[in-house]
A = this chain, B = another copy of it.
């Protein structure tokens, strides 16, 4: 059963194409993380916020990733991180076509 990790934080930028260039290498490395299934990269230039929605294979791999990622964000000067790990209601998610693979 997969777990969802929801992360967001204040960020001054870069956003958009500049963000994509800055984090391309990081994005590739994330795909190699233990238990990783997918990540959607979120951003809001007006609100100066960014984050990610991740799917992991287990609660433990989501927790370990979050621990590592929180330290990495702190290294970028980002410390005000909102993060929550949820289990998924798969019956309701199937009805609403949520992608769990």
Residues of A bordering B, CB below 8 Å: 4, 6, 8, 15-17, 19-20, 23-24, 27-28, 30-31, 36-45, 47, 49-51, 53, 84-89, 91-93, 95-100
Contact = CB atoms under 8 A, between A and B. Distances in A.
A93 to B, nearest CB: 5
A100 B44 contact: no
Contact of A95 (B27, B98, B100): B27
Nearest to A86: B42
Copies of this chain present: 2
A62 to B, nearest CB: 12
A19 to B, nearest CB: 6
Given A38-B96, A96-B41, A19 B86 contact: no
